[in-house]
Structure 1
Amino acid sequence: MAKHIQILDGGMGRELSRNGAPFRQPEWSALALIEAPEYVRQAHDAFIAAGAQVISTNSYAVVPFHIGEARFENDGTALAQRAGTLARAAADASPYAVRVAGSLPPPLGSYRPDLFEPVQAGKVLRVLIDALSEHVDLWLAETQSSIAEVRLVAELLKDDPRPRWFSFTLDDALDAQGKARLRSGESITDAVLAAVELGAASVLFNCSPPEVMSAALLEAGAHSSLPLGIYANAFEPSDHKRGANVGISALRRDTQPDNYLRWAREWVDQGASIVGGCCGIGPEHIRALSTALAGSDFVPVAQDALHV
């Protein structure tokens, strides 16, 4: 392809579950980090083998919302450091250039902009940033439901010279005017302009249905020349309203690798230069993306090297 496409990894939690790692709510992907970290390394290796050029630390669930206040107080730093170490080791072991993104989640609950409180959230994020810092090449504030959330991340990162990627999660359906919106109700235009103001190196949209991504991408591209990215989830539409930590959502059947690649081609045609997957998107999806989109400068390893 004419432009360079960066390939992200996919959803860590579902890959851990599929491979037999300890996995349940509320701990989600943090449970393997606590009880069986070798599965986390295995998942990183599988995504890299599939062609991921950027992998995210398994720190998304290392927050009180998932592991509880007491465990976070006692073990949060050590668990985040473990997440960083595992991702760094996997990236460094690859024969290809793989970057590590420090995953900074919404610290007080995914999809819940109403729960955001900057002082409390800042305390959680400070632990993650300090623990991950020595291991990462860039910062990825992901599944951000509101502009206030990314403003806090930018404030905490301050003069950190590494690229900061801001990734917003979207309402599950377009509004009456056919526009995508953040889960807070804020507009894509306002979110993108805020990201630019806050020094974002890239703006992405994640953990939302594939169907709403194009509208967000087109609106974002009209207001910024920053690199744009998409990594959608594979949740069943009927399960989207559950919210995080309310059972384990079913996965839809129409997001198999070939179909997901069709959406990804559309996103690339509309301006995306960063593409990957979120919940339910596995190494087989990433292989399809990397093979079709990454270009001649990257050749993923053989199919039989994948851990499935």
Structure 2
Amino acid sequence: MRPDLRKRWENDVLIGDGAMGTYLYKFGFPVGISYEELNLLQPEVIGDVHRNYIKAGAELIETNSFSANFYKLSKFGLESQVEEINRAAVRIARQAAGDDVYVAGAVGSIRGGRRANVTEQELGAYYEQQIAALLSEGVDALLFETFYDLGEMRIALRAARSLSNIPAICQFAVDQIGRTLDGYKIADAFGILRGEGADVLGFNCHSGPKGIMSVMSGLGGPLDTPLSVFPNAGLADYVDGEYVYGATPDYFGECAVSFADLGARLIGGCCGTTPEHIAATAKALRGYEAAPLGQGKPLPEPREAVLVKDTGLVADGGPSRPGHPPDITQLVKERHTVIVELDPPRDLDIGKFMEGAAALKAAGVDALTLADNSLAVTRMSNMALGHLVQLKLGLRPLVHIACRDRNLIGTQSHMMGFDALGIDHVLAVTGDPARFGDLPGASSVYDTTSFEIIRMIKQLNEGVAFSGKPLKQKAKFVVGAAFNPNVKYLHKAVERLEKKIASGADYIMTQPVYDPELIVAIKRATAHLDIPIFIGIMPLASGKNAEYLHNEVPGIQLSDEVRKRMEGLSGPEGRAMGVEIAKELLDTAMEHFNGIYLMTPFMFYEMNVALTKYVHEKSKPSAAHLSRF
């Protein structure tokens, strides 16, 4: 007989299971089918997944019913089988679980962050239908997961409470800002849900351990309510036609202890996790003694959210558009040339950004590069900020153009706007998929590839529109391409790079590199290329930052030696060590490349001010070059 779940959460940390969909995908079940229909078509496969997680140490497993609601199943013509599919999901899980493991009925968000054409009344009916089917087979709990807004979560929870008092676990998919899509602070959302009958509150999907840990830390310490966490195995990368996740089982296990310290009483995994991740989690938490729940911080009293907008700064007038100094491909032939990336803000306050840009200008950077909503996170327009940087500071902007956000119409219009503003240095990138960002319901457009957008921008330089029509005059874009050298087979990455050069790329900017030997290898592998390469270096800000980059961010790998040096460091001490490591990398980079590309972590622009000065001191440039733009 299994002890009551509510009693277990008072005293213990339970191990949940891992991903179902990405696990099935890994073993050959394609995207585009209903994984929930497999409950009827191949129940032995679903049963094996459950058993693998139980063998790894899972004490609570979820039914294969995440999208088994009327709305989602209707996409596959299965809307008449809602009850059958959900009941089969419970039976399969219960058979695998036996007498010792809990079974939670999985209920996923219907809207999924999108403004789907479905009313609140319809949502309530769909949730009630699915939940009733799950309850009919005797689940131990209901797990509501991957909800982006509180409004929909409340509808689902109310449907559950109208049918049963069974334990309810409510999990949001949120980014590090710590708000739901409908504007509630997480603590406030939790308070409302607790008041309406939720037993466990938490997070899943959307980000890896680092992102969820950041939101949990913002709650101000462990709560008097049990929390649950089911993170992804880091951020997904699209490699050779499939999605891969970078967080290792060992890293996942280490993070599990930190989650437990922050009050998590149910810890599992979401997208990209496997039985190996769950086994590492179970091992790390073996013997862990949880603090009594009553000692935690109380949740806020249930109240409605109040959204407050920050006041943005308005640009004053400035100097007229500058002339046409040498572009970076010309400068880098003469001397070491420094490009620094500074992220546009995620709010309306540009004060810190402009302060950083001014400091970098004073340090002697040759161009300030601005990403185009990197990692699919919404930021201020790099066109607007690029114009202000150029207008107010006389600093050359180098703006990124992502294929993700604009169709061909929008992209050409955007490029024409850059030309009108005199912004002529761009970097063409594919762009991270929208579903991994802060607005997962947004569409990823991808009308073009990075190869095609390079070619089409260069076509504007011929005075020809994307449509082939004449533009009356020619643009003057200097177009860069991105290069990720942090791969197993460097020669294959170089082959891809050659295609970008063939499309018209004028220069290359690499992902951050943390290994001097790799810098040398890049030089050897690209020696035959006749365009400049800017080696990417991003100083590490802390030990946690180093582990996050290594384990969760696609395209970044740190050496064991670097990770060891950063281990346990934070604050000024961590940043100082990060700068020292970056200087050592610069020593090697400057021997082999004139192009240096510095990325700014967490708006700590002072780190790259120091590194820019280091480059200039080491290369002993003339004082005159500092004011060439």
> What TM-score do you get using the length of structure 2 for normalisation?
0.41
Alignment partner of 1:99 is 2:102 = yes
- Alignment-derived partner of residue 43 in structure 1: 49
Name the aligned partner's letter for residue 250 of structure 1.
Y
For structure 1, the 5+ residue unaligned runs are 240-247, 298-308
Q: What per-residue deviation string (whole Å, max 9, x for no partner) do you get for residues 194-250 of structure 1?
A: 1211111111100021222123223446584110111101363567xxxxxxxx972
Alignment partner of 1:164 is 2:164 = no
Alignment partner of 1:12 is 2:20 = yes
- Alignment-derived partner of residue 210 in structure 2: 211
SS of 1:251 mapped into structure 2 = strand
d(CA) in 2 for partners of 1:85, 1:116: 30
What is the deviation of 1:35? 2.6
- Alignment-derived partner of residue 180 in structure 2: 182
What is the deviation of 1:169? 0.7
Q: What per-residue deviation string (whole Å, max 9, x for no partner) do you get for residues 243-276 of structure 1?
A: xxxxx972232x1101111222221222222211
Q: What per-residue deviation string (whole Å, max 9, x for no partner) do you get for residues 165-215 of structure 1?
A: 1111112xx33xxxx222444311221111211111111100021222123
Q: How many residues align?
A: 274
Q: Is the 8 A contact 1:24 1:31 kept in 2?
A: no
| Cα root mean square deviation, aligned | 2.5
d(CA) in 2 for partners of 1:30, 1:139: 17
In structure 2, the CA distance between the partners of 1:76 and 1:235, relative to structure 1 (3 Å rule), is farther
d(CA) in 2 for partners of 1:78, 1:235: 34
Q: What per-residue deviation string (whole Å, max 9, x for no partner) do you get for residues 80-109 of structure 1?
A: 1111111111112x6xx21010111112x3
d(CA) in 1 for partners of 2:83, 2:77: 10
- Alignment-derived partner of residue 25 in structure 1: 32
For structure 2, the 5+ residue unaligned runs are 1-10, 290-629
d(CA) in 1 for partners of 2:67, 2:242: 16
d(CA) in 2 for partners of 1:146, 1:181: 9
SS of 2:245 mapped into structure 1 = coil
- Alignment-derived partner of residue 252 in structure 1: 245
> What TM-score do you get using the length of structure 1 for normalisation?
0.80
- Alignment-derived partner of residue 201 in structure 1: 199
d(CA) in 2 for partners of 1:113, 1:268: 34
Name the aligned partner's letter for residue 198 of structure 2.
A
Which of 123, 126, 134 aligns to 2:125? It is 123
SS of 2:198 mapped into structure 1 = coil
What is the deviation of 1:122? 1.6
Q: What per-residue deviation string (whole Å, max 9, x for no partner) do you get for residues 1-46 of structure 1?
A: xx621100000112223334x432252x224224312110110011
Structure with bigger gyration radius: 2
Q: Is the 8 A contact 1:84 1:136 kept in 2?
A: yes
d(CA) in 1 for partners of 2:258, 2:221: 17
Deviates more, 1:142-151 or 1:214-223: 214-223
What is the deviation of 1:117? 3.1
- Alignment-derived partner of residue 552 in structure 2: none
- Structure possessing the higher relative contact order (Cα contacts under 8 Å, 6 or more residues apart): 1
SS of 2:243 mapped into structure 1 = coil
What is the deviation of 1:113? 5.8
In structure 2, the CA distance between the partners of 1:249 and 1:278, relative to structure 1 (3 Å rule), is farther
d(CA) in 2 for partners of 1:250, 1:111: 21
In structure 2, the CA distance between the partners of 1:249 and 1:187, relative to structure 1 (3 Å rule), is farther
Q: Is the 8 A contact 1:44 1:87 kept in 2?
A: yes
- Alignment-derived partner of residue 84 in structure 2: 78
Q: Is the 8 A contact 1:80 1:128 kept in 2?
A: yes
